[in-house]
Amino acid sequence: MDSSQLGDLVVTADGSLTLKHPEHGEDYHSSIGAAFESENLYLGRSSFSDRLKQQDQPVHVLDVGLGLAYNAMTTLDRWYIAQQAGPLHMVSLEVNKDLVEVLVAGKAPWAKAWSKRWHNFIGSMGHKNGQWSGQIEHPDGSLADWTILVGDAEVKEIELVGGRFFDFIWQDPFSPAKNPGLWSSAWFSKLRQVSAPNAELLTYSVARVVKQGLEEGGWQWQKIPGHGHKRHWLKACIKC
């Protein structure tokens, strides 16, 4: 499809590009910076980098709301530049098939300023049996497996990778007002069922309904420092 139908390009404060969703009327990322938010919230406020040092333990990530793939790209990049890293397994969820097709075809206009390494990550993806998957090799020989599942996450069974539970969840769909099903207690309960006991969930939203949904879904949450007009983000765990 014509990528312009996915929404209008928006330049964020750090120079990275995002889109304004044509139906929701919301930007895919905060105006403080699409790349900045991924790096400083999901990766920066989690213990992801510390977990990479445990090279005998694979790290499993669930990326909720692939969107323009900044969270996925930043996760792979942080893993790739680590001096040593064990296996990484990541599953991304996205409802919009057209968006994924534009992305993996290398035609995403928001990716024009991405690094060669990020484009190589995307270039690793192939389509088979209704899903996209790829494998990236770390300089030390470790492998990252990345799968993108397309469809309504509310009704889709979230696939465990190799029967393993997720260690990190990047909760980044559109706002509770626009996408309430992915902020409900039922959704967070579903996430809890596929999460490791020490899992961490990070999200940009601090809305009351989100905190209530987390609590009812079996998570404990805490506010963490945000940036700019977003004074706080949320970090949740099962056993804090």
Q: At 33, list the tokens.
A: 């910076």
What is the arithmetic mean of pLDDT over 44-50?
95
Establish if 18 belongs to a structural domain. Answer: no
Nearest of 151, 150, 193 to residue 169 by alpha carbon: 193
Q: Give pTM, 2 decimals.
A: 0.91
120 or 27, greater pLDDT: 120
Establish if 9 belongs to a structural domain. Answer: no
Look at residue 124 in the predicted model and tell me its pLDDT.
95
Range of the domain at 145: 35-237
User: Any bridge partners for residue 49, and if so which?
Assistant: none
Q: What is the CATH number of the domain that holds 188?
A: 3.40.50.150
Lowest mean pLDDT among 34-38, 104-108, 202-206: 34-38
Establish if 29 belongs to a structural domain. Answer: no
Look at residue 6 in the predicted model and tell me its pLDDT.
67
Cβ neighbours for 192, distance < 8 A, ≥ 6 positions apart = 217, 218, 219, 238
Establish if 13 belongs to a structural domain. Answer: no
Total number of domains constituting the chain: 1
Establish if 231 belongs to a structural domain. Answer: yes
Establish if 16 belongs to a structural domain. Answer: no
Establish if 6 belongs to a structural domain. Answer: no
Establish if 225 belongs to a structural domain. Answer: yes
What is the arithmetic mean of pLDDT over 199-218?
97
128 pLDDT band, cuts 50/70/90, is: confident
